[in-house]
Structure 1
Amino acid sequence: MTRPDTAPVRPGEELPLDALREALRGKVEGDVDRLAVEQFPGGFSNLTYLVRLGDQEYVLRRAPLGPVAAKAHDMPREYRLLERVHPVLPVAPRPVLLVEDADVIGAPFYLMERRRGTVVRTKLPPEYAALPDAPRQLSEALVDTLADLHAVDIDAAGLRDLGKPEGFNTRQVEGWASRWRRARTDDLPPPEELHDEDVIAWLLAHTPAESAHTLVHNDFKLDNLMLDPGDPSRVVALLDWEMTTVGDPLVDLGLTLTYWTMPEQPGREANHVGANAPGYLSRGEFLARYAQRSGRDVGGVAWYEVLGHFKLAVIVIQIYARYRAGQTSDPRFAPLGGQAQWLIGEAWRRIGEVEGGGTGEPEVAPQIG
């Protein structure tokens, strides 16, 4: 579900097929005796697999290997959230089966429907190369899907209890700061050089009241959209709902802009999509379209962008800390310490812009690959 292309399962991340087969028998459609499993290779967080039961296909999601933060990677919560979101926002995939018994494959997991489409990561895929308007069309699809997400009536859909929206922004800063301090590795520069504590202090000192209370995806970015291969303006699916809650929609907007304006994404090659690439919506155009679609004032978005950079730095350093502690051997995680450092530096640079002391020019992210 989260990726259009699959690969053999990575060593050490194999599923116990006999146990899985028996857990699915009689619970879902398909021939469990013809069970076959592949892995979706993208992503750094939850493990996602393609499960084939003869001609029937599903996507299986489970938490990553090794110790994980409390309340993180909660597959039962994600499954139950999708049960409620899918009927009111059809781009959310339909969940099919939840298995909470961790003894089956080593962690709770769930199955959801598989949808097929194109995921755009850091460059325009071949199917869009002949479509001259593809960059603008997929840009607008990204903005419009974000606005549609934030337009869901959380009370009518029974979704308000997903979170505690009052005081959301303050809890965001405090919670992510706590996670950063717990995960911070000793190979990073000291705080007086990295300015991580300065970023936290600035966010706390300037925390705004919530602009509204809506669904917040918390990881809304282009490569969490699946698009129609023949029509980049049509969204097939919005993926990766694990951190969804109820809070300030501009928190989503800030993180989306963090990704949209980055010259590189964590652990990836240089970006050839987004605000820095020709044909795509610029940062200003992105903001203007979101404001028009949502009816919201985005004048104070800089605080949310700084928070977005900081949140992404925390996510990256948590993964890197697990790698450095030997809890995972995935070589993709090795460069993430440098990426977390760059993200903190970019947050600090943007604070300088807000306070009148920045250059206005983005730094170059470290080359990673």
Structure 2
Amino acid sequence: MSPQPASAPDTPVGTAPIETGALGDWMDGQDLPGGAITGLRPIGGGTQNIMVRFERGGVSYVLRRGPRHLRPNTTTVITREMTLLSALSGTTVPHPRFVAGTDDESVLGAVFYLMEPVDGFNAAEQLDAPTAATAEGRTRMGYGLVDALAELGAVDHTRIGLGDFGRPEGFLQRQVPRWLAEFDRYRGTAGYPGPEFGELDRVADWLERYRPTDSRPGILHGDYHIANVMYRYDSPVVAAIVDWEMATIGDPLLDLGVLSAIWPTEPGGAELYESALGATGDLPRRAAMIDRYAAASERDLSALDWYTVLACFKLGIILEGTYARSCAGKAPRAVGERLRRYANGLFDRADRVIAGE
């Protein structure tokens, strides 16, 4: 056992303290390199969950846990992330490498795990890497985003031990009722004036009418877009797919539907989520993006319009929910207004896909 301070104080990081003595003792029990924990600092994660980076014994780690005020599903979400990342370690899918984790909340007051830091950058926020310095490089980064998704969609989830990670049977049949129920949960939120994108029933009816009859299950990231990947600095490929908290076993074509839903529709146009990379207008054309996926996948893309509309429907409802909470003072109003704009854009795109435009 490596010596730890007799009463190591809580070290404030982000919005939750990290008790370094308890963390060090736990790491000793995992046979990880010993020594003092140094350089503890928060890093961005894109969610309310907390991620901190630190060094110990000459090795760098990232710790991920739930927020200080844990949500009802925090333990389940973090535990599932551990299971998934551990299973992916035997694949070529780019992801943060899992080191160790525990569901024992007594260690740090919450379930947590350690992973290796990703040497990369988030192209939703910055484009200061050499690979992003030219229009050609940025176009290749768009293709790299598609390549990583196709690689994930090709994984046999049962072979890597994820046979019981989700409920793929009836996955597509559950989608419309699930998201309609989610919308109904905040219809009556205090101060929420209702949606600007019109009635949901018309889109819901179209989705139910044209739902594909066949669905091949696989790993679904659940929120796949530019902000949820890290790019390598030295090449236009994805270094890691991150933020796996919505992952399950479902239909991977819904991830492609998300890309299709937010991708620029016109040459030189901006991507719907207004990422730094998407705002350059250098992403490949939507048809080229889809062709790239098709060339790397054995999946049937003939119903991609349906998956695109489902993605618009699902994401629009999720984003509108944040706006509703902002009306009640439970989320920043500026964030709510921005996400409502995205929700309106998604339903507008759904309307145009349904109309055959």
Task: Kindly state the Cα deviation for residue 205 of structure 1 after the two structures are TM-superposed.
Answer: 4.2
Matches of 1:47 and 1:299 in 2, distance apart?
40
Task: Kindly state the Cα deviation for residue 175 of structure 1 after the two structures are TM-superposed.
Answer: 2.5
User: Which piece of structure 1 moves more, 86-95 or 313-322?
Assistant: 313-322
231, 253, 258: which one aligns with 2:256: 253
User: Which piece of structure 1 moves more, 110-119 or 58-67?
Assistant: 58-67
Name the Cα RMSD after superposition. 3.1
Q: Report 1:1-369 matches (<5 A).
A: 9-10=13-14, 12-66=15-69, 68=71, 70=73, 74-122=77-125, 124-184=127-187, 185-190=189-194, 194-196=198-200, 198-232=202-236, 234-261=237-264, 263-265=271-273, 270-274=274-278, 277-316=280-319, 333-356=332-355
Matches of 2:110 and 2:67 in 1, distance apart?
9
Sequence identity of aligned pairs in percent? 33
SS of match in other structure, 1:76: helix
Matches of 2:131 and 2:222 in 1, distance apart?
28
User: Which piece of structure 1 moves more, 172-181 or 199-208?
Assistant: 199-208
On the 8 A contact 1:219/1:256 being kept in 2, the answer is no
Task: Kindly state the Cα deviation for residue 251 of structure 1 after the two structures are TM-superposed.
Answer: 0.6
SS of match in other structure, 1:209: coil
Structure 1 residues 20 and 131, CA gap change in structure 2 (3 angstroms): same
SS of match in other structure, 2:281: coil
Task: Kindly state the Cα deviation for residue 292 of structure 1 after the two structures are TM-superposed.
Answer: 1.9
Matches of 1:32 and 1:210 in 2, distance apart?
54
On the 8 A contact 2:123/2:226 being kept in 1, the answer is yes
SS of match in other structure, 1:161: coil
SS of match in other structure, 1:348: helix
Aligned partner letter, 1:177: L
Task: Kindly state the Cα deviation for residue 45 of structure 1 after the two structures are TM-superposed.
Answer: 3.6
On the 8 A contact 1:194/1:345 being kept in 2, the answer is no
SS of match in other structure, 1:273: helix
Task: Kindly state the Cα deviation for residue 196 of structure 1 after the two structures are TM-superposed.
Answer: 4.1
**Unpaired runs of 5+ in structure 2?**
1-11, 265-269
Q: What TM-score comes out, normalization by structure 2 length?
A: 0.82
Structure 1 residues 89 and 258, CA gap change in structure 2 (3 angstroms): same
Matches of 2:316 and 2:196 in 1, distance apart?
17
Greater Rg by CA: 2
How many pairs does the alignment contain?
Answer: 340
Aligned partner letter, 2:301: V
SS of match in other structure, 2:18: coil
Task: Kindly state the Cα deviation for residue 42 of structure 1 after the two structures are TM-superposed.
Answer: 4.3
**Unpaired runs of 5+ in structure 1?**
1-7, 361-369
SS of match in other structure, 2:340: helix
Aligned partner letter, 1:228: R
Task: Kindly state the Cα deviation for residue 252 of structure 1 after the two structures are TM-superposed.
Answer: 0.8
Task: Kindly state the Cα deviation for residue 82 of structure 1 after the two structures are TM-superposed.
Answer: 1.4
Question: Deviation per CA, 1:191-220, whole angstroms, max 9, x where unpaired?
Answer: 586434554454344433343212111122
Structure 1 residues 210 and 40, CA gap change in structure 2 (3 angstroms): farther
SS of match in other structure, 2:53: strand
Structure 1 residues 227 and 109, CA gap change in structure 2 (3 angstroms): same
Task: Kindly state the Cα deviation for residue 147 of structure 1 after the two structures are TM-superposed.
Answer: 0.9
User: Which piece of structure 1 moves more, 166-175 or 12-21?
Assistant: 12-21
